[in-house]
Amino acid sequence: EIVLTQSPATLSLSPGDAATLSCRASQSVYNYIAWYQQKPGQAPRLLIYDASKRATGIPDRFSGSGSGTDFSLTISSLEPEDFAVYYCQQRTDWPPLFGPGTKVENK
């Protein structure tokens, strides 16, 4: 079973800062990685799929990169609404699996 590791666990930043979140897979998932954003009390929302494609309606300050085992989600300039937990997910291996999440908190 492929294991996903996300780092850091918590990222303390201020509005306007750039954020870089990491997701590492225990073996290659090719480009089959997605990123989701979850705010308190809400369902997750798809941000990025196939490692680098933005989902419908997602602002272009969100970007994804990587392939194989190492992936990144970058938020170019944090808006107040971007403070949330971010999960990566793979669908190369069965069953689909999510990473443990990175919390982006307002410093």
Partner 1 sequence: QVQLQESGPGLVQPSETLSLTCTVSNGSMNNYYWNWIRQPPGKGLEWIGYVFYSGGTNYNPSLKSRVSISGDTSKNQISLNLSSVTAADTAVYYCVREDLMVATGWFDSWGPGILVTVSS
Question: Which residues in this chain contact partner 1 in the complex, by CB under 8 A?
Answer: 32, 34, 36, 42-46, 49-50, 53, 55-56, 87, 89, 91, 95-101
Give min distance, CB of 98 to partner 1, in A.
Answer: 4
Helix/strand/coil (H/E/C) assignment for every residue in 15-79? CCCCEEEEEEECCCCCCCEEEEEECCCCCCEEEEECCCEECCCCCCCEEEEEECCEEEEEECCCC
Closest CB to partner 1 among residues 2, 17: 2
Q: Is the CB of residue 94 less than 8 Å from the CB of residue 1?
A: no
Q: How far is the CB of 87 from partner 1 (least distance, A)?
A: 6
Quote the least distance from Cβ 79 to partner 1, whole Å: 21
φ and ψ at residue 80, rounded to 5 degrees: -55, -30
Which CB atom, from 17 or from 24, has the smaller least distance to partner 1? 24
**In terms of CB distance, is 14 or 42 closer to partner 1?**
42
